[in-house]
Amino acid sequence: MSKRISYKVEGEVQGVFFRKFAVEQAKAAGVTGFVKNASDGSVTGEAQGSEDSLKQFVQHLHNGPSAAEVHNVSQSDIQTKSGETGFGQH
């Protein structure tokens, strides 16, 4: 069964290729959705997939790419979307 989350990653996460990293990890985990930079300096997005694939993806968000310094990752369940085929960055 598919579920969807919205997430927010706070810390030193802009200008360190975090969005590119998130896209790579999402594809490896098999989740769909998107990632974008937010005006407050965080990275936000949505991800959809199985419970296990989302757990794997969120674990990677906690680590981030080597140049990032992640302070907090928050997530909440939201309604799933149908017809989404990939994971992109905005």
Q: Which positions are annotated as active-site residues? A: 19, 37
Cα–Cα distance, 26 to 39 (Å, whole number) = 23
For tokens 């680590």, the residue is 63
Phi, psi of 82 (to 5 degrees): -100, 155
